[in-house]
Amino acid sequence: MLTIITGSQFGDEGKGKIVDLLSTDYQIVVRFQGGDNAGHTIIAEGEKFKLHIIPSGILSQSRLLVGPGTVMNPEIIVSEIDNLARSNIKVTPEKLGIDAKTSIIMPYHIQLDELNEVARQHKIGTTKRGIGFAYIDKVARDEIQLADIIDKHRFKQRLEKLLPQKKEAITSFGGDSDKIEGDWMDRYIQIGQTLKSYVTDVSYEIQIALEDGKNVLAEGAQGTYLDVIHGTQKYVTSSSTIAGSACANLGIGPTRVTNVIGIVKAYITRVGEGPLPTELGGKIGDQIRENGGEYGTTTGRPRRCGWLDLPMLRKAINLNGYTQLVLTKLDVLTKLSPVKICTGYKLNGKTLKYPPLQTHELANVSPEYTELEGWNQDITNIKHYSELPGAARDYIQYIENVAKIPITSISLGAGREQTITKDKI
């Protein structure tokens, strides 16, 4: 069985917790795109684990894989392995495999990313971690892969060809090209030797696992509306974040897919620039941000918060082909009344039930809301769906009726145990 999990919004939907929960039923958990610009937080037995590259199934018995569609800062992944070791979690080559074709984020990618953002007249809110420039090199066929840095001689040969043009690019942005000189090359060579035993063929591993009847869980980073093709251009990430990209990036045919799970937060958030039609300012927005801990795992930046946007959820369902939804952070809406849900937009005198195609049009819509009764009861320790306040169940049912696919689980807090399965009534 192959299951794909993606975020249905702008990322930060709580995918890490859900992957952690589901991973006990999967023999393999694999990351299929993105880099360390995304963060996943897992809380188990009171301890918090923040991950950026290593898949969220780290606390299970699953084999973890990083696929060739990702871009990886080797210093970050070694740091994650070391940090987990300090918590007595050993990430051995038997536990973690990294595809030989995984693109490596180089110091010049990070420098170019920083310089480019400074030069932009209109900022896009990049995390300045070199993600975009690493993907540019992949498309331009100038990438350095993991297979390169584990071979000292090949790595140096590749750099001899690439560094002159990277220095020229840095200079063209007004940057100091001397910054990419130094001891980082030796560090990368050393890290390459550390990671050598982790190298694998991810596509082949997954094919063999599926043929043997094992379960594979493919984990996406960011969210649907940060997709480089289908997202809110230009305020997007540099990779495809929707479910279909899991097949392309991992080298797995679409006929292998059994389930596609969409993670939807009970409200909506966004980091950085770009349209957010239901954005809340003032007291309610602040309350949601503080109650939900809406600050970036990677950057610490405060997230913009808004009411749940059903037109965007409709489109996300279509783009990903979701077979089920998991609703997260429902507890954050406690003590808000009324609770609003965006059911459509007004644009140039017309009513829309689906997001307009152009980003500038989405930025100019006026959301139309349905108001639902709120609830005051603390729901963070509820164990069964039937114990939820009636107003909370009505909220869930309203979303389900519009989505036309089932909400199978509801997350009521950050802890593993703060999750209820809807059919366990």
Report the catalytic residues: 12, 40
pLDDT attached to residue 423: 65
pLDDT attached to residue 123: 63
Q: Is 244 part of any known ligand binding site?
A: no
Q: Is 237 part of any known ligand binding site?
A: yes
Sign of the CA dihedral running 192, 85, 18, 255: positive
- Chosen CATH of 103-195 out of 3.40.50.1980, 1.10.1040.50, 1.10.300.10, 1.10.10.60: 1.10.300.10
Rounded CA-CA distance 343/399 in Å is: 10
Q: Is 38 part of any known ligand binding site?
A: yes
Between CA 408 and CA 310, with CA 20 as vertex, the angle to 5 degrees is: 40
* CATH number of the domain located at residue range(s) 263-421 in this protein: 3.90.170.10
In Å, the largest CA–CA distance within the chain is: 66
The architecture that CATH gives domain 2-100+198-260 is 3-Layer(aba) Sandwich (3.40)
The domain limits of the chain are 2-100+198-260, 103-195, 263-421
Q: Which of 360, 410, 415, 353 is nearest to 385 (CA)?
A: 410
The dihedral formed by the CA atoms of 70, 74, 76 and 79, expressed in degrees to the nearest 10:
130
Q: How many CA atoms lie within 13 A of 121 on its CB side?
A: 0
DSSP 30: E
pLDDT tens per residue across all 425 residues of the chain: 999 999 999 999 999 899 999 999 999 999 999 998 777 777 766 677 788 899 988 888 999 999 999 999 999 999 999 999 988 899 999 999 999 999 999 999 999 998 888 777 666 667 788 999 999 999 999 999 999 999 999 999 999 999 999 999 999 988 888 777 778 999 999 999 999 999 999 999 999 999 999 999 999 999 999 999 999 999 999 999 999 999 999 999 999 999 999 999 999 999 989 999 999 989 999 999 999 999 876 678 899 999 999 999 999 999 999 999 999 999 999 999 999 999 999 999 999 999 999 999 999 999 999 999 999 999 999 999 999 999 999 999 999 999 999 999 999 998 889 999 986 43
pLDDT attached to residue 298: 66
What's at 101, amino acid-wise? Answer: K
pLDDT attached to residue 425: 31
Rounded CA-CA distance 309/339 in Å is: 12
Q: Is 323 part of any known ligand binding site?
A: no
What's at 378, amino acid-wise? Answer: D
Q: Is 37 part of any known ligand binding site?
A: yes
Q: Which of 307, 371, 296, 310 is nearest to 333 (CA)?
A: 307
Beta strands in 202-338, from DSSP E residues, in sequence order: 216-219, 257-265, 268-270, 304-306, 308-309, 324-328
Q: Is 412 part of any known ligand binding site?
A: yes
Tokens 């169940």 found at: 393
Neighbours of 375 (CB within 10 A): 22
pLDDT attached to residue 125: 63
Q: Is 306 part of any known ligand binding site?
A: no
Q: Is 319 part of any known ligand binding site?
A: no
Q: Is 130 part of any known ligand binding site?
A: no
